[in-house]
Every structure is written in C-alpha cells, then in structure tokens.
A and B are shown apart, each in its own frame.
Chain A
Amino acid sequence: MTTVQERETIATQFAEKMNEDELLNCMRCGFCLPHCPTYIESGLKESHSPRGRIALMKAVTDGVIEPDEDVERSLSLCLGCRACEPVCPSGVKYGHLLEEARDIIHQNKRHSFPVKTIRKAVFSGLFPHQERMQTMTSLLGFYQRSGLQYMARKTGVLNMLPDNLATMEKVLPKVPKKSEMKNRPTELPAIGTLLKKVAFFSGCLMDTMFLETNKATLKLLQLAGCEIVIPKSQACCGALHGHSGEKEGAKQLAKRNIEAFEADEVDYIITNAGGCGAFLTDYDHLLQDEPVWHDRAIAFKNKMKDISEILVDLRFHEKVRLKLPAQSITFQDSCHLRNVMNTSLAPRVLLQSIEGIDFREMKDADRCCGSAGIYNIVESEMSMNILDSKMEHTKSTQADIVVTANPGCLLQMQLGIERENLGECTKAVHIVDLLMEAVAL
C-alpha cells in the first residue's frame, strides 16, 4: 500500500525522471502482445502487456492517472524477460523504462518492516559481499551434508513451506565446501595454441552454488585457446538490485566491476549466465548520467560475450570432438541472453555438434520459463502458470535433457521437472556442464 503522499511523490518523479521520448516511441501497434508471457497467461489482459504497461507509465508521467496499487501491480507482475524488445519494430527500450519506473516506486514507498528488513539484508548485506555469499552457501552445504536435509525431508517440516518453495528446496544443487569456494584461481593458461586473452566474470551465485559450472567454463575456455584472468575484486553484477528498484546499489556494483575488469588488457569479458551478462551489457544505460563512467561502461560492454558465443567464434566445436551416449536434448533460451545479448544461435550450434545427440527444438523455446530472478518466489502463482505451459512444450519434445544457459532458468526447469514428476527420465543441465561431459568422453 502506498499513502497519498507517497503517490504524489512517485507521480512527480515519474514526470521528472521517465524518458519521455522513449515513452512516445511506443506507437501502440501491439506487435509485442503475442510475445508477452504475462499477457498470454493472464488471459490476454492488456494491463499485463508491454503496450499496456508503457501506456500506464505514460499516463502516470502525464498525470492522467495516479500511481495506485493497480499500476504497481501491473509493473510488478512483469517478468522483465524483455521478449517484447527484439520484436518491437519501433525499437522501444522497454526494459530501461521498466527499471526506472520500478526504481521510482520502490525508493518512494515505505515498505512494511519485514519486507524492508529482507530487502536490506539481501541487497546491502548479502549479494554485494562475495565472502558472505560463500558463508550462506556453506550453510546450505552444511544443511545438505550434515543430515539436516535428510531430517527435514523425513519429518515433513518442509511441508510448512509454500508448495513451490518446498519443491525448490529439493532442486538446489549439491553445493561445494567453503574451502573450495575460497581457493579460486586468478589466472589460467590456454591449452594448445593461444588465440585470445579473456577475463572471466564469475558471478556471485555461479561462483558459489554453481561452482562446478564455473570450473567447467574455465576448462572449456582453456581448451578453446583462451588465456584467462579472473579479477579478484569483481562483484555481483547488480541485476537483482536493478530489477528490484535498487538502482543506486546496482550502480555501486557496476563501478566496482568496471574498475576490476579495466586492470587487465583483454579481448573479451566472458559470462556463463545470461541474466548477469545482460545486466553487464546494460551498464552504459545504468551509468548514463555519469559521463566519465558512461564511457568506461561502453568500453566494458563492448567486450562482453557469452561463453557459447566465444566457443563458436573460436571454432571450439570443430576442433574438439564432442560425444555423448545417444540421447535427445532440447534447449530453453535464457531470455536475457537472447533478448538483450542477442545470443540464440550459438548454443544451438554447439549442442548440435555433439555426436550422439538428437536435438529437438521446443515450441516457444524463446518464451520465459517464469524464473526471472526472484520472480518465482515473489510472484509464484504467475510464475508457476508460466512454468506449467513451458513444461507442456518440454514434455512434447520427449527430450531426456533440458539444456539452459543461466542458473535461474536451470533451477526453474529443474523445478518444473520435479513438479511434473519427470525426475526419473528428464533432467535439466547448464550447457557448459553438458559440453564438459561431452569433451570428457
């Protein structure tokens, strides 16, 4: 709930801060509608479509309506998948408008005490500090290894959690030990001919909970002919902050990362998480009001590349024999990898070059799975509806493996598999882990 005064402040700030040209750039043709997951899942409600949300942002900016709860609802139900952007002939930067609008609302709204506490703990206390991420992950590791997990599942104490949270607990990966997370290399040589020098963006979640995937990524880069540096002072990308209306926090992290990656002369900066990659690519927008930083952000952004892109560029799949036991696989796009980083072909090229693989394109593979950062926790009903549709398409491919390119998507697809009781015959993996397995054989 917002008070009258809060609404007034929000409305004033919309008028001051929202990019009027960008709002006007939407000419309301509606070409985005069939691509919006929330428009479709809500039974074609215009208020849950990109065109509708832009119209609402414009109406608040123009003072036609006040930013009431319904406006806030419409904006918070957006996944931020940005599937509307590549299909927009006018080229409206919807994601930027959404982030600005959410930032204004969240900065001017008094959150309830519990929400405030959680937001502060997560956005200021946890994600910006990698050592705390390690501690949190080790607590999870302790839970998994100590027998607590066994006890929790056995005693049914998990049943007290909402359904999807309880299921989510099951799908979390087996996390590494703290000592493993602490002892990370900072430099690695190329294996074979040196082709490129790259820096690796390790990511807060990827370097803790998904450490194995990061290790595999580094190995693949080495095999592809990359010398790698892993700047120690890098931080969380800030996507979680940016998407949740915590722009200032995101800016601080962006600056830290830009500095960290300026230290070494490299050809590219590599990520293996579409969600992080897209946010890093958008640093120039985030820092647009700070001229010096803006230029540095552009230089940073121009070096960004997803792991799948560089592997294809360096013809990794042609040089290294990739082979797996006969099985069928399908690929679920990471929205931000596809819609913001424009990478959709490279992962498919890599997968199709694995011997023994029967690649089956899933219907609407480019549509969001409903993970969307913490969306599946805060908007769980819509998220689960979207996931259910996704699982229908997954099932009709009859694939043994669902490949993803982002940790959030990976967990969500795993969650979908668990909800459908497909655990026996289907699993979800990160593309890097599958490639590593194919190299090893």
Chain B
Amino acid sequence: MLTKQVKQLLINIVGQENYDESKVECLVYSYDATPGYQAMPDAVIKPGSATEVAAIVKVCNEYKVPIVPRGSGTNLSGGTCPTKGGLVLLFNRMNSLLEIDEENLTATVQPGLITLDLISAVEEKGLFYPPDPSSMKISTIGGNINENSGGLRGLKYGVTRDYVIGLEVVLPNGDIIRTGGKLAKDVAGYDLTRLFVGSEGTLGIVTEATLKLIPIPETTKTMLALYQDLDAAAQSVAKIISNKIIPVTLEFLDRPTLIVVEDFAKIGLPTNVEAVLLIEQDGPPEVVDRDMKRMADICIEEKAVSVEIAETESDAAALKTARRTALSALARLKPTTILEDATVPRSEIAKMVRAINEIASKHNVNICTFGHAGDGNLHPTCITDARDHDEMERVELAFADIFAVAIDLGGTITGEHGVGEMKAPYLEWKLKKEGIAAMRAIKQAFDPNNIMNPGKVFAKESRKRVVVSS
C-alpha cells in the first residue's frame, strides 16, 4: 500500500486521470504472458514525458517504492510483473514516432511505440528495422529494448541491441542521461547504451531511443523444407551455415507445433512430416536466387522429403505470420504452455534437439519444439496443466536438465526472453558466482535502494545444479 502522502505526490506529477489504484486496474497489470505468474501492484501510473518519469522516480527513490516499467505485457519470464507491489509504469502516453532521419538513417522513438508501427513507418520510406519479435504486432520498442528482443530475422541481422545507438534514460536517482547518438562511431566513455539494452528495467527507465535503420532489401524469398527426421532437419541447419550462407530466417518447427499452427492459420502447412525448416533469404534478386538454390540442394542432400518455395509474397507472409503464432497456438492442446529459450552455438543444434527429446521422455512430459534454429535458439515448449502439481514438478526437472545440457554445449539459459523472475534461480549456472557478483555491483551502483524492477534477474537463492545424466 502506498501512503496517502506518496499517492498525493504522484498525483501532483501526472494528474488524477493518469494515476489509478482501483482493484481492476491493478489486476489487469498484475500479469504478462508468463504462465502461472501474477502479482498485484499498488497502483498504475501513466507519465507523459521524461520529466514526469524523473519526478516519479525521485518520489519512489525517496520513499522506496518499487517501479515496474511495462510495455504491452508480452514478456515471457515475468519481467513485467510486480513482485513487491509498487507502481506499474505505463507508456501509453509516450508512444510517438518522433523522427525518421533519412540522411543519417535513424529513427527516434518514444518507448510506448508499437514495434510493427515503427517497422511499417520506416518501410514506407524504403528503410528497414530488422528486429521482429513474434509479438511485434503488439510489443513496444521500450519493451524490446529492455528485453533485448530477438526475432525471426536475427540470424542475418542480429537483435534489438544491434540497432539501438542512443538512449535517453531516467536513472533511479531521478537524473536524466543521454547515451550514444546518431553516430556510427562513438567511444566516449563506457558504452552505457549496450548496458541498458537488455537490462530488464532493473537499472533505469528508457524514455527515448535512437535506432539504426538500414536500406530495405530489394527482394525476399521464402521456402519450406520438409523432413521425416528431426535430426536431418537439424543437420541441414548446421550445414547451410557451414557452407557460408547466412539466410535471414532459418526456423524449425516440429510436427506437433505444425499441427496446432495449421489448425489456427489454415494455410496448408504440411502436418504429415516430422519437421520443417522455414527458410528465407533477402537481398539483390540474383544473390537471393543463388542462395535459395544452394540451400534447397543442401536440404535435399540432408534427406529433406521435399522443398517448396512460396510462390507469392502473400504466401510467404502467411508462413511467417503463422510461425509467429506457434507459442500461443500450442495453448490449444493443454491449458498451460511453458516455453523456454535455451540457446546453443549453431553447430550444436542437432545435439540440442536430440537432448530435448531424450529429456522429455525421461521425465515423461510433452515437449514440442520450434524456434530460431539458425540462431541456435530453440523454444522447447511444455504442454501441461498448471493444476497438475505432480506433472509441474516433472516439467521443472525437465527444464533444469535442458538448461544444463545447453550450458554444457557452450550455450545459455535464455537467448531472447530474458531472465526476469522465472530464470533468475538458474542465472548462476551460466555466469558463475563471480559473474553474478559483477552484475550485482553494477546494479548496486545505479540503484542502491533497489527500486527498479526488484526481484528480477537476481534470485534470492540460486538453484542447486544437480549432476546431469549423460
């Protein structure tokens, strides 16, 4: 509960209409897309400018009120859920596309801008903003920056981090700083831009961002390679990359995922094969044609049953849109879908796919797998029912095994969804004690009162790593 005094101070900043502590408003900001996690804030606040954000932060810092910044709440690791009450801070009033600079190839945006709105606006000017998380139709740029979101085009173009070149940030003490700028080169001091990207709202509040744009590729082609063998599909991925071809997209979907996605999208996806690879290349037409042919040949050599190139742009778009619905479509099977995003070096993808299947049968849980195979970033998704406590325990064990294998293969516990609340207990497995200590020191320096998204990234207690069966 906020005291009367704090409440009044906050209302003085944003006005009565932008402060709400009703049960209903608190409840609808108590969750994000993380399964089975929900906690109420004390109030919801909607600032209209960086100055208002700074004033709010000052009050919160003085009275030790937690702040959870929230975009559209599509987070999958509990990153945008409150853990200790406090304020949920919304950016509904800070959602403008401030500028597209066609001379410097940059876009300047407020954090509440919807990712797809940015992408559409820059494409109208013949420019390209590649990061395209599956939730881009509703996710915000501010959320993408805080989570360092990836997407389907990550393989060739990288992730959000690679396109953020300048930030305006409100620090936990209320200072407003600017990092980077419309600059191709800038080594003036520490690279704070990179530090804030992916910091999950634990270090400060992004109030404006300058993003790098690139010219839009001339053409794009999309194909599906069909397999009766998961291993063969995974081998194809490794072989395409070792043949020095970097496609835009190299996505993997297994059969159960194909079935639910087709059930929703009805675009004629094959449901009688064990796996497909969704492959896309862009660039000058001659390069695209050459690469597509070479990749098709590799897939056939690696025992693809067939390779089908999408005939029209709308067919290609339908395939990608369908892929983006995979996670939610899996919810058709069982009430609870828990997905992870363990990531391994690209060369290890076949081993990882195999390990996931072994772990699923060992713990007797139902795991469907899809994901950004070309990035080594898979999304093994457990189809379960949160009400079945016995099964939930097995699910947790299975995921612990998956993390362990990923780390042993030189990978990580999360590729793009963030640590948040859910993966915090496993962070030490990846970073070791010393790595966590270094991060804690940074957190302490910026946010000594621990008001910024407390309870995220750093766990109270790390999970013990059990010996992994080989």
Q: Is the CB of A43 within 8 A of B92?
A: yes
Residues in A with CB closer than 8 Å to B137 are 31, 34
CB pair A88–B24 under 8 Å, yes or no, is: no
Q: Which residues of B contact A45 (CB under 8 A)?
A: 92
Contact B325 A89 (CB under 8 A): yes
* A28 and B24 contact, CB distance less than 8 A: no
Report yes or no: B74 in contact with A21, Cβ–Cβ below 8 A.
no
Q: A29-B135, A90-B331 are in contact. Are A56 and B114 (CB under 8 A)?
A: no
Q: How far is the CB of B26 from chain A (nearest CB, A)?
A: 9
**A27 touches which of B23, B264, B337, B385 (Cβ 8 Å):** B337
- Cβ of B25: which chain A residues have Cβ within 8 Å of it? 47, 70
Would you list which residues of chain B between 1 and 60 have a CB under 8 Å from chain A? Answer: 22-25, 27-35
How far apart sit A34 and B95, CA to CA, in the bound complex (Å)?
A: 14
The reply to whether B138 and A65 form a contact with Cβ atoms under 8 Å apart is no
B327 neighbours in A (Cβ, 8 Å): 27, 29, 89
Task: Give min CB distance, B191 to chain A, whole Å.
Answer: 32
A sample of 15 inter-chain contacts (CB < 8 A) reads: A24-B385, A27-B337, A29-B33, A30-B33, A30-B74, A31-B138, A34-B114, A55-B27, A55-B28, A56-B28, A65-B23, A89-B325, A89-B326, A90-B332, A91-B263
Q: Does B73 contact A (CB under 8 A)?
A: yes
Nearest 3 CB-CB pairs, A to B?
A: A89-B328, A90-B331, A24-B335
Q: Determine the distance from Cα of A26 to Cα of B337 in the docked complex, in whole angstroms.
A: 10
Interface residues of A in 1-38 (CB under 8 A from B): 21, 24-31, 33-34
Residues of A within 8 A of B135 (CB): 29-31
Q: Is B329 an interface residue (CB 8 A)?
A: yes
**B28, B30, B135: which has the most chain A beta carbons within 10 Å?**
B28
Smallest CB–CB gap between B411 and chain A, Å? 25
Are A89 and B331 within 8 A (Cβ)? yes
Within the complex, which residue of B24, B35, B138, B329 is in contact with A30, where a contact is CB–CB below 8 Å?
A: B138
Contact B73 A30 (CB under 8 A): yes
B24 pairs with A47, CB closer than 8 A: yes
Chain A residues within 8 Å of B412, by CB: none
Q: Which parts of A351-372 form the interface with B (CB within 8 Å)?
A: none
Q: Is A64 an interface residue (CB 8 A)?
A: yes
Whether the Cβ atoms of B33 and A27 lie closer than 8 Å is: yes
Whether B336 sits at the interface, judged by CB under 8 Å, is: yes
A47-B328 CB under 8 A given contacts A30-B73, A34-B137, A34-B138: no
A21 touches B114 (CB 8 A): no
User: Are A52 and B28 in contact, CB atoms less than 8 angstroms apart?
Assistant: yes
Please report the C-alpha to C-alpha distance between residue A171 and residue B378 in the assembled complex, in whole angstroms: 57
Residue in A26, A33, A71 with the greatest tally of chain B CB atoms within 10 Å: A33
Q: B interface vs A, CB < 8 Å? A: 22-25, 27-35, 72-74, 92-93, 114, 135, 137-138, 261, 263-264, 325-329, 331-332, 335-337, 385-386
Q: A27-B328, A28-B73, A74-B24 are in contact. List 19 more A-B contacts (CB 8 A).
A: A24-B385, A24-B386, A25-B331, A27-B327, A27-B331, A29-B33, A29-B135, A30-B73, A30-B74, A34-B138, A46-B28, A47-B28, A49-B28, A55-B31, A70-B22, A70-B23, A70-B25, A89-B264, A91-B264
Contact, CB under 8 Å: B29 / A29: no
Convert A70-85 into 0s and 1s, putting 1 for each residue whose CB lies closer than 8 angstroms to a CB of B: 1101100000000000
Q: How far is the CB of A73 from chain B (nearest CB, A)?
A: 8
**CA A117 to CA B24, docked complex, whole Å:** 30
* B27 with A65: CB separation less than 8 A: yes
A73→B332 CA distance, assembly (Å): 29
Distance between B454 CB and nearest chain A CB, rounded to angstroms: 22
Tell me, in angstroms, the Cα distance from A65 to B331 when the chains sit together: 25
- The docked-state distance in angstroms from the alpha carbon of A266 to that of B93 is 56
Determine if A44 is an interface residue (Cβ-Cβ < 8 Å).
Answer: yes
- Among A33-68, those with CB < 8 Å from B are 33-34, 43-47, 49, 52, 55-56, 59, 64-66, 68
Q: Are B27 and A33 in contact (CB under 8 A)?
A: no
Contacts of B33 in A (CB 8 A): 27-30
Which residues of B are found within 8 Å of A55, using beta-carbon distances?
A: 27-28, 30-31
Query: Are B73 and A46 within 8 A (Cβ)?
Result: yes
Tell me if A24 and B336 are in contact (CB < 8 A).
yes
In the bound complex, residues from chain B placing their C-beta under 8 Å from that of A59 are 27
What's the least CB distance linking B96 to chain A, in Å? 13
Which of A49, A68, A89 is within 8 Å of B24, CB to CB?
A: A68
- Output the least CB separation between B321 and chain A (Å): 10
Contact with B along A114-132 (1 / 0, CB 8 A): 0000000000000000000
Cα A267 to Cα B349 in complex, Å, equals 54
Q: Which residues of B contact A44 (CB under 8 A)?
A: 92
- Distance in angstroms between the alpha carbons of A21 and B388 in the assembled complex: 13
Task: Answer whether A25 and B335 are a contact pair too, CB < 8 Å, given A30-B74, A31-B328, A89-B264.
Answer: yes
Question: Given A30, A34, A43, A56, which contacts B27 in the complex, CB threshold below 8 Å?
Answer: A56
Contact B23 A68 (CB under 8 A): yes
Chain B residue nearest to A48 (CB atoms) is B28
Contacts of A46 in B (CB 8 A): 28-29, 73
Q: How far is the CA of A44 from the CA of B18 in the complex (A)?
A: 13
Select from chain A the residue with minimum beta-carbon distance to B139.
A30
User: Residue on B with the closest CB to A65?
Assistant: B23
B interface footprint on A87-120 (CB within 8 Å = 1, 0 otherwise): 0111100000000000000000000000000000
Q: Which residues of A contact B337 (CB under 8 A)?
A: 27
Q: What distance in Å separates the Cβ of A186 from its nearest Cβ neighbour in chain B?
A: 39
Chain A 300-341: CB-based contact to B (< 8 A → 1; otherwise 0): 000000000000000000000000000000000000000000
